[in-house]
Structure 1
Amino acid sequence: MDAVEAVAIGAAGVAAGGINAVVGSGTLITFPTLLAFGYPPVLANASNNIGLVPGVLSATYGYRRELKGQRRRLIRFGAASLLGGLAGALLLLNLPDSAFRAVVPVLILTACVLVLLQPRLNRWMKSRSGAGSRTDGGVPMWLGVLGTGVYGGYFGAAQGVLLMGMFGAVLRDDLQRLNAAKNVLASLVNGVAAVVFIAVADVDWAVAALIAAGSTAGGLIGARLGRKLSPVAMRGVIVTVGVTASALLIART
């Protein structure tokens, strides 16, 4: 790894950490960066997942005030996220590389569509955040969080957008409190998947360390300043990178 590659991966980690704090699509920055430097997709995904864990944790810390009063919600959905993340990580390791190469372009493009739809989801969430008692959505919501965890453990791009979409459909609560809960659940999914990858998968530790350092800084910055960034510009970057990643993967198959 030369200096240019190291700087590019570290910078991608900073951007991903900040984006994960406020949007939840940071993998669409780091994953295609690794592909562009020639890393195999499964190795890139495992190394990227491990590197992003500190960033999600730093974003969670940045939103700690919004987590007050959400203990029961986090315990309930946290169990689903842990189970789903474990299942997704095991799927990644047990399915052939060809399956990952085939499905990930579809997952990335789907994630890009979700990012584009996020303003509409946000308006929906705000319109539902007024009157009414809070609810955790029963079994359907729990299963939805479980399914998102499986997706997150397998690949993970835009799992935060998926969670926020589901939360907005059912939970009547402040948007920032829901975002704080989203960060906790994403950290659980990424964390349990990272444990699996560390134990049994091939990992490029230099790459993981660079992304970890960058995403930690980015997560803190994103939690503090991310709400002031232009959402239009952020979505534009994410979608551009996501489409590029899909094209790279398709070209390599």
Structure 2
Amino acid sequence: MTYADIILLSGSGLLAGAINALAGGGTIFTFSALVAVGLPAVTANATSAVSVLPGQIASTTAYRREIVASFRRLLPFSIISAIGGVAGSLLLLNTDEGAFRALVPFLILFATILFMSAPYIATFGEKLAACRTTDGVGPFATALQGLVAVYGGYFGAGMGIMMLASLSLTEGRDFHALNAAKNWLACIMQGLAVVVFILSGAVDYSAVVIVASASILGGWGSVVVGRLVPQRVIRWFVIATGLALSSWYFIQ
């Protein structure tokens, strides 16, 4: 690994850590940087998932009280998220490298469109929450969460936005309840996916050390970034980068 590679991976980790803490979408940066330094696409995706997991766990611990309070209600979602996360990771590992590389521009474009649509998805979720007739987890919400979990284990970028719709059916409009549930379930699906990736040997640990360390620093520095840069600017930066990267991969 060259000094240029280290700088690129460190920069992507810093960006991902800060952006994940403020708006989400940081996986686009870490995955693309790992591919740029020469890792195969499947290995890059697995390595990126391992690298961002510590930040995901840290975010989840901040909501431990809310998670404990709603644990019984979230149990069906937790189970389906575990199953979907493992299924998605196994699907990734069994995808041919060439086939996955061909999917990359579509996956990044899809994640970018999700990010662009986040306000509309949140509004849709609020409408679902207003229409719900029970505090339990129904079959539609469970099936929707299952699809999100498979996607989360397979690629992951934008899965939090997708969960705004499924979780509104159980958590209603409470911001902290939604965030707590989203972080908890993301930890489950990505945590188990990471276990599968590690056991399969599909992880580049030298890259993990660099990206994960930088991501943690980026998360800490997000407070400063959030004060200096308006969230709208951050959102459009992520969107513009996602569109540019997907276009680049389509050309390649």
Amino acid in structure 1 at the alignment position of 2:25: S
Trace 1:158-197 onto structure 2 (pairs within 5 A). Answer: 158-168=158-168, 171-197=171-197
Shift of 1:123: 4.1
Q: 1:140 to 1:131 in 2, by over 3 A?
A: closer
Shift of 1:28: 1.1
Q: Are 1:20 and 2:20 an aligned pair? A: yes
Shift of 1:43: 1.4
**Higher-RCO chain (CA-CA 8 Å, sequence separation at least 6):** 1
Amino acid in structure 1 at the alignment position of 2:144: G
Shift of 1:210: 1.6
Amino acid in structure 1 at the alignment position of 2:50: I
Shift of 1:21: 3.9
Alignment-derived partner of residue 245 in structure 1? 245
Alignment-derived partner of residue 105 in structure 2? 105
Shift of 1:120: 2.4
Alignment-derived partner of residue 204 in structure 1? 204
Amino acid in structure 2 at the alignment position of 1:122: A
Shift of 1:240: 2.1
Alignment-derived partner of residue 139 in structure 1? 139
Shift of 1:87: 0.4
Distance (Å, rounded) in 2 between the aligned partners of 1:127 and 1:55: 31
User: What is the TM-score when the length of structure 1 is the normalising length?
Assistant: 0.86
User: What is the percentage of aligned positions where both structures have the same residue?
Assistant: 35
Shift of 1:136: 4.1
Q: Is the 8 A contact 1:15 1:215 kept in 2?
A: yes
Q: Is the 8 A contact 2:73 2:137 kept in 1?
A: no
Unaligned 5+ residue runs, structure 2? none
Unaligned 5+ residue runs, structure 1? none
Q: 1:161 to 1:226 in 2, by over 3 A?
A: farther
SS in 2 for 1:235: helix
Q: Is the 8 A contact 2:84 2:146 kept in 1?
A: yes
Distance (Å, rounded) in 1 between the aligned partners of 2:225 and 2:192: 26
SS in 1 for 2:25: coil
Q: Is the 8 A contact 1:14 1:218 kept in 2?
A: yes
Amino acid in structure 1 at the alignment position of 2:82: L
Shift of 1:226: 8.5
User: What is the TM-score when the length of structure 2 is the normalising length?
Assistant: 0.86
Q: 1:169 to 1:129 in 2, by over 3 A?
A: closer
Q: What is the aligned length? A: 251
Q: 1:92 to 1:36 in 2, by over 3 A?
A: same
Amino acid in structure 2 at the alignment position of 1:189: M
Q: 1:231 to 1:169 in 2, by over 3 A?
A: farther
Q: 1:131 to 1:108 in 2, by over 3 A?
A: closer
Q: Is the 8 A contact 2:28 2:157 kept in 1?
A: yes
Shift of 1:155: 0.7
Q: Is the 8 A contact 2:125 2:166 kept in 1?
A: no
